[in-house]
Amino acid sequence: MAKGKLLYAQSGGVTAVINATAAAVIETARSHGVKVYAARNGILGALREDLIDTSRESKSAIAALHHTPGGAFGSCRYKLKPPATDDSEYVRLMEVMKAHDIRWFLYNGGNDSADTALKLSRLGREYGHEIHCIGVPKTVDNDLVVTDCCPGFGSVARYTALSVREASLDVASMSETSTKVFILEVMGRNAGWIAASAGLAGEGADTPPHVILFPERSFEPRAFLAKVKATVERVGYCTVVASEGIRDADGTLLSDTGGRDAFGHAQLGGVAPLLAQMVNEKLGMKVHWAVPDYLQRSARHAASATDLMQAQAVGKAAVEYALDGMNAVMPVILRGRDSPYRWKIAAAPLARIANREKKMPKSFLSRDGFAITAAARRYLAPLIRGEAPAPCGKDGLPLHAVLKRVAVAKKLAPWDGA
């Protein structure tokens, strides 16, 4: 074994393929003779010195992570205190890294996590313990900058397009006497990437989805209802895909419940029933609605093979960058061509990524704001390609990794924080 250990942590909302990144990290590190610790429940495990020794997991258990959704080592929503005002948490992290001779830290998350990894990367020398910090991209929201797309997004995009296609066949077949309007609510707090991916289900005004509601456009009830009505009159039914983050002209979230998560974001959910009520009341049509919620981001059984490969590639590259001595970078996906699709991995500075959010280009939304453009199709289409289902067991259900999660013996006093 090489001197020093690699610490891997998962952060924020998990995805169908984040464990494939974890598997690639562990397998690549093992091939270099480097021991990997995983923080239990993300950065909280690092603060608490609650570390899992992944070298105690069998080769087959790690391999099974490639087809296991969720976060196998636990993730968390926890925002570190800004070191400029209170550096106690960053100091603690450095103490834990030092105590366990952790030389490489891989933080698998979104733009919040990139910021944390960046701040940590600057502290090594100050605390007398050199550490190489690598951000590893992951988010179904597809809202990281620099990278062409984010691992996790392609699979939720495929699930969404596939669900729209399947459910619309159901609605179409019964629309004469039953449901006329079907509303599918999808994730997407500020950027409508997932809603846009629904557009891949079909092309043309008569093909579902007929209406997509993006957070990028303010929601205008009259235009929406007119579009739904016209679609039902012309096609016989109407499939609507609504982003959870749609806002009215004042910028107020339609679904704002007043609840806030650990990062201060409004806790969303429930736009679909609101829209359903509106359609039913104003147009007098029978409406059904669906909110897949976590089903969409954990649907490993319907994952995109492209997304899976990219999730694995960023994990492998992150280890290689770390062992090569790079610091404060993230392996990002660069697109060569749309068709045939070509991509490669490259290192990008975390400073360019941390705390920024990529919105959809305006050129991706149709003029009326209810559909995607050809440019959006060119971008999105390759990301959902290929099937990569998990193997199934005798019970007919997908097989998932079963880990031992053996704790590393603690060396420090308990952390007195959260």
For the annotated catalytic residues, the residue numbers are: 141
| Residues 296-335 close enough to bind a second copy by CB under 8 A | 297-302, 304-306
Rank residues 135 and 154 by Cβ distance to a second copy and give the closer one. 154
What is the helix (H) or strand (E) element at residue 182, kind and residue range?
strand 181-186
In angstroms, what is the minimal distance from the CB of 396 to a second copy?
4
1, 2, 99, 392: which one contacts a second copy (CB under 8 A)?
Answer: 392
The answer to whether 261 contacts a second copy (rule: CB under 8 A) is: yes
87, 293, 320, 338: which one contacts a second copy (CB under 8 A)?
Answer: 293
Residues 153-172 as x/- pattern, contact with a second copy by CB under 8 A: -----x--xxx-xxxxxxxx
Q: Find out whether the peptide bond into 215 is cis, omega within 30 degrees of 0.
A: no
Instruction: Confirm or deny that 260 is annotated as ligand binding.
Output: no
Inter-residue contact 192 to 245 (CB < 8 Å): yes
- Give the pair of three-digit tokens for residue 164: 């729209």
Q: Could you tell me how many residues make up the chain?
A: 418
Beta-sheet strands, E only, within 49-138: 51-53, 102-109, 132-137
In angstroms, what is the minimal distance from the CB of 248 to a second copy?
21
Backbone angles phi, psi at 103, to 5 degrees: -105, -20
**Strand order through the sheet with 341-349:** 51-53, 35-39, 5-10, 102-109, 132-137, 329-338, 341-349
88, 221, 398, 410: which one contacts a second copy (CB under 8 A)?
Answer: 398
| Residues 179-198 close enough to bind a second copy by CB under 8 A | 179, 182, 184
Instruction: Confirm or deny that 187 is annotated as ligand binding.
Output: yes
| Residues 23-52 close enough to bind a second copy by CB under 8 A | 41, 44
99, 262, 334, 346: which one contacts a second copy (CB under 8 A)?
Answer: 262
Of 293-301, 312-320, 322-330, 407-415, the segment contacting a second copy by CB under 8 A is 293-301
Burial of residue 368, with CB atoms counted within 10 A of its CB: 0-12 exposed, 13-18 middle, 19 or more buried: exposed
Instruction: Find the distance separating the first CA and the last CA of the chain, reported in whole Å.
Output: 34
Whole-angstrom Cα distance, residue 318 to residue 134?
6
Inter-residue contact 180 to 286 (CB < 8 Å): yes
Match 């003779």 to its residue by tokens. 33
The answer to whether 14 contacts a second copy (rule: CB under 8 A) is: yes
Instruction: Confirm or deny that 295 is annotated as ligand binding.
Output: yes
The answer to whether 338 contacts a second copy (rule: CB under 8 A) is: no
Residues 196-235 as x/- pattern, contact with a second copy by CB under 8 A: ----xx----------------------------------
| Residues 53-72 close enough to bind a second copy by CB under 8 A | 68-72
Of 26-34, 245-253, 383-391, 404-412, the segment contacting a second copy by CB under 8 A is 383-391
The answer to whether 269 contacts a second copy (rule: CB under 8 A) is: yes
Instruction: Confirm or deny that 127 is annotated as ligand binding.
Output: no
Instruction: Confirm or deny that 296 is annotated as ligand binding.
Output: yes
51, 196, 291, 329: which one contacts a second copy (CB under 8 A)?
Answer: 291
* Total number of residues that touch a second copy (CB under 8 A): 77
The answer to whether 402 contacts a second copy (rule: CB under 8 A) is: no
Whole-angstrom Cα distance, residue 206 to residue 129?
61
Instruction: Confirm or deny that 179 is annotated as ligand binding.
Output: no
The answer to whether 417 contacts a second copy (rule: CB under 8 A) is: no
Instruction: Confirm or deny that 312 is annotated as ligand binding.
Output: no
Inter-residue contact 323 to 104 (CB < 8 Å): yes
Q: Give the orientation angle of helix 153-174 with respect to helix 305-323, to 10 degrees.
A: 170
Rg (CA), the chain: 22
Q: Is the dihedral of CA 97, 102, 105, 108 positive or negative?
A: negative
273, 283, 352, 405: which one contacts a second copy (CB under 8 A)?
Answer: 273
The SS3 of residue 326 is coil
Distance (Å) of CA 295 to CA 302, 342, 355: 11, 29, 27
The answer to whether 288 contacts a second copy (rule: CB under 8 A) is: yes
Rank residues 1 and 174 by Cβ distance to a second copy and give the closer one. 174
Encode 309-321: b = buried (16+ Cβ within 10 Å), e = exposed.
bbbbbbbbbbbbb
Whole-angstrom Cα distance, residue 57 to residue 403?
7
Of 28-36, 211-219, 352-360, 386-394, the segment contacting a second copy by CB under 8 A is 386-394
Whole-angstrom Cα distance, residue 384 to residue 276?
29
| Residues 73-102 close enough to bind a second copy by CB under 8 A | 73-78
Rank residues 78 and 105 by Cβ distance to a second copy and give the closer one. 78
In angstroms, what is the minimal distance from the CB of 310 to a second copy?
14
Q: Binding site membership for diphosphate: which residues?
A: 13
Residues annotated as binding site?
13, 111, 139-141, 187-189, 244, 294-297
Q: Per the annotation, where are the binding residues for Mg(2+)?
A: 111
